[in-house]
Amino acid sequence: MFLPKSFALFAPIMPEIGTAVSTTATFFSHVCTFFAVRFQVSAFSFIVYNQSFVQLNYIEFNTVDFIIILNL
């Protein structure tokens, strides 16, 4: 079965990527819960904050992911 060269290149680090994504999502859920309870931060400002943090870590989420995380 033929696999693209890029897939073969990235296959060894895929578990690490999955761990990074799940860790980031867990971190955001804790942070979102903390700020929602303590400071009543609006969803819009929190999405902007999350986007800047995510870009810093080279992990991209769309707006739907942020809303799901905010609702945890």
- Long-range CB pairs of 32-36 (<8 Å, 24+ gap) are 32/69, 32/70, 32/72, 33/72, 36/70
Please check the confidence at residue 69 and state whether its pLDDT lies above 60: no
11-55: per-residue pLDDT in tens? 555 555 555 555 666 666 666 665 555 544 445 455 554 555 544
Residue 72: pLDDT band (50, 70, 90) is very low
Number of domains in the chain: 1
User: Does any domain span residue 70?
Assistant: yes
Q: Summarize the confidence of residues 1-14 as an average pLDDT.
A: 49
Residues of the domain holding 54: 41-72
User: Does any domain span residue 68?
Assistant: yes
What region, left, alpha or beta, does residue 21 occupy, with left being phi > 0 and alpha being psi -120 to 50 degrees? Answer: alpha
User: Does any domain span residue 4?
Assistant: no
9 and 17 Cβ atoms separated by less than 8 Å:
no
